[in-house]
């Protein structure tokens, strides 16, 4: 019997070509938290603009926020982009963010709750402060922004869409991620409950659950070997591009997802 040959090694697959916009969100106003920089938030802001929305960027990092605003304004026009600093752990700043959106645009159609805080530490070594910091940004921040958005959408009577950024670690275990996993599982539960309440006034609430989307900021703070190992476990042999996650967020924000609410959509390749 001829022994089986080992599988032939192939180079890591490359991402597909970037998908152009199709005007799916023309005439709408969208808010994206943690939108400064090169991660999922920044990619989502760009995709929303490409789909025709006016976008309000928000982030706790004022310098990066101004840089992102300037770059997008140069490309899409200053009239379609604005930036409002916001720390989602501060209720007063969250209120100011959504008040500012209404003052500038007079409407609120789409909210993408992208703000989150990670870190890696074993549970036995985790301090209360580490646990609380991750939960306050990732889960409580999503709660604060969802509450603020729903109050305004309900009052306006025009409906709307909220998309929350969860993670596959909300479903599966990963060492050192107890705080982050608990927060992201909470985001999923919050999404389901908010969706049931919001349906009565025409607002849809969904979430995406990415497995691994590597960008320059993450690459700077994460262990290189761990990222490589996680990417190798993906069916495509690579991590997602941030814009590939943003594509799914845009789909959920669009009328193509009109019958979807309370759902968490994995953006992964056999990692969930």
Question: Which residue numbers are catalytic?
Answer: 180
Q: Which two tokens stand for residue 104?
A: 């500038």
- Helices 40-50, 62-76: inter-axial angle, 10-degree rounding: 20
State the DSSP code for 127.
Answer: -
d(CA 172, CA 30): 31
Q: What are phi and psi of 137, to 5 degrees?
A: -75, -50
H-state helical runs in the chain: 40-50, 62-76, 91-105, 128-135, 141-156, 178-198, 216-221, 224-233, 242-253
Which run of H or E residues covers position 196?
Answer: helix 178-198
Please answer whether residues 164 and 142 qualify as being in contact, where contact means their C-beta atoms are separated by less than 8 angstroms. yes
């Amino acid at each position: 019997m001829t022994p089986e040959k080992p599988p032939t090694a192939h180079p890591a697959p490359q991402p597909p070509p970037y998908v152009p916009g199709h005007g799916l969100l023309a005439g709408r106003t969208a808010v994206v938290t943690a939108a400064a920089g090169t991660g999922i938030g920044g990619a989502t802001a760009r995709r929303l603009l490409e789909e025709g929305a006016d976008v309000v960027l928000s982030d706790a990092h004022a310098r990066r926020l101004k840089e992102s605003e300037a770059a997008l304004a140069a490309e899409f026009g200053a009239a379609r982009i604005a930036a409002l600093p916001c720390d989602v752990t501060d209720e007063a700043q969250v209120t100011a963010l959504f008040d500012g959106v209404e003052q500038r645009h007079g409407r609120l159609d789409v909210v993408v709750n992208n703000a989150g805080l990670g870190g890696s530490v074993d549970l036995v070594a985790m301090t209360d402060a580490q646990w609380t910091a991750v939960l306050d940004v990732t889960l409580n921040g999503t709660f604060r922004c969802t509450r603020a958005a729903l109050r305004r959408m309900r009052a306006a009577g025009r409906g709307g869409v909220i998309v929350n950024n969860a993670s596959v670690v909300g479903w599966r275990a990963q060492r050192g991620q107890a705080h982050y996993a608990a927060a992201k599982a909470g985001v999923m539960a919050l999404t389901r409950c908010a969706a049931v309440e919001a349906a009565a006034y025409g607002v849809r609430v969904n979430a995406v659950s990415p497995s691994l989307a590597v960008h320059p900021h993450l690459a700077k703070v994460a262990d290189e070997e761990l990222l490589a190992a996680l990417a190798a476990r993906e069916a495509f042999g690579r991590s997602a591009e941030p814009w590939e996650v943003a594509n799914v967020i845009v789909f959920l924000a669009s009328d193509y997802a009109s019958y979807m609410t309370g759902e968490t959509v994995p953006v992964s390749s056999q990692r969930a």
